[in-house]
A = this chain, B = another copy of it.
Amino acid sequence: MRYMRMPYEAAKSFCERLFVSYGFTAEESGKITDVLLAADLGGIESHGIQRLVRYDREITEGLVDVHAKCETVFETPVSATLDAHDAMGQLVGIGAMELAIEKARKVGIGMVTVRNSNHFGIAGYYAKMASDRDLVGIGMTNTEAIMVPTFARQAMLGTNPIAFAMPADPTDYLFDAATTVIPRGKLEVYKKREKPVPQGWVLDENGLDCTDTARVLDNIIAKRGGGILPLGGSGESNSGYKGYGFGMLCEICTAIFSQGATSDLIYKKPGKAEICHFFAAFDYGMFGDKAGIRKEFSEYLQKVRDAKKAQGQERVWIHGEKEKEARADRLAHGLLLNDKTLDEMRRIAARQGVGAEELERITVPEEG
């Protein structure tokens, strides 16, 4: 695969025009694009423009209702439950987190659970919305079932990511992780390269450890059993039941609190995704002097950064640093997109009758 650099502004302009072509307003298109490109800027290619082909399909096939509005079905001063009515996940996520932030400003904390939504991009985007306002932020989503619980051979939970952000200097702390060992995208990359996956990532159709990438992915698609392991791996030896527990925490906050669809039901009804999300924001000033708390946290993170390194290693990373550094690189030198993604962009643009003049601004081919 060949990687090219595309200026951020060009990609932004292209995506915004494209989303308008589906019927979103200019403001909505700007929001969707911002979430999408936040992934590419942060170096999380799997959740960036390469997903455009998926969003395009879900919008044109009607899983996403372009005109749907989120409805608040239950509310208290500290909480809300929303029915997204199949709206675009990114718009749902931004609106729900804004509501959580508004509640956090009024009463210290806001928790918002959402049902009947669509894929919302990276969970970290929403957690970061809160930390950008000097609040603690949490974002979660369930996804189509792919995580096999400990001792099972049938996927019952999604990759179920949990994101958590807390302000710090010089870089806000931002954790965003699937509760499976790996995300599905990583399996797809190994399949493209025709490489076996390492032991401890996936299970075959009998619930046994397996390294045959193609077989496992085919089984997942055909729903023949097997799937990705929870964080911690198979059986109990390396505590895979803990990843399964964190995945369940996500399921509870998203699907159970909202009385929506659990991961095993997602994408099962024709024309509906039924994905559920959870967002929380709270003001850490509820525990005392904000400046003091922020300073102590920043100093602790610096001590962790300065910890003695493992032999052969040069750096201990704090969550959020890699994304921040990737962002600086991508803003200066352009997003990294592979030729397959660029072809998809051209094809979608042509079908939507949208010009793709921004794609002429790809100037720096680069090896990926």
A contact residues vs B (CB 8 Å cutoff)? 73-74, 76-79, 81, 107-109, 111, 113, 148-154, 156-157, 164, 166, 173, 175, 177, 179, 181-182, 198, 200-201, 203, 206-208, 225, 231-233, 237-239, 241-246, 248-249, 251-252, 255-259, 262, 264, 282, 284, 286-289, 292-293, 296-297, 300, 303-304, 307-311, 313, 315-317, 319
Contact = CB atoms under 8 A, between A and B. Distances in A.
A123 to B, nearest CB: 13
7 contacts: A77-B108, A78-B78, A111-B286, A175-B246, A203-B310, A248-B319, A264-B303
B309 A153 contact: yes
A76 B292 contact: no
A269 to B, nearest CB: 16
Contacts of A284: 257
Given A304-B149, A308-B225, A175 B248 contact: yes
A116 B286 CA distance: 19
Instruction: Give the one of A108, A175, A181, A256 with max B CB within 10 A.
Output: A256
A259 B296 contact: yes
Contacts of A304: 149, 152, 156-157
Contacts of A175: 245-246, 248-249
Q: Which 9 A-B pairs have the closest CB atoms?
A: A207-B310, A79-B286, A175-B245, A151-B313, A154-B308, A152-B307, A257-B287, A206-B311, A154-B307
A296 B256 contact: yes
Contacts of A248: 173, 175, 319
| Tally of this chain's copies | 2
A251 B265 CA distance: 35
A237 to B, nearest CB: 6
A187 to B, nearest CB: 13
Nearest to A320: B245
Contacts of A150: 316-317
A259 B288 contact: yes
A288 B181 contact: no
Contacts of A262: 300, 303
A238 B181 contact: yes
A198 B248 CA distance: 27
A298 to B, nearest CB: 10
A310 B78 contact: no
Nearest to A201: B238
A262 B300 CA distance: 8
A251 B233 CA distance: 24
Nearest to A74: B288
Given A149-B307, A317-B150, A108 B76 contact: yes
A264 B304 CA distance: 9
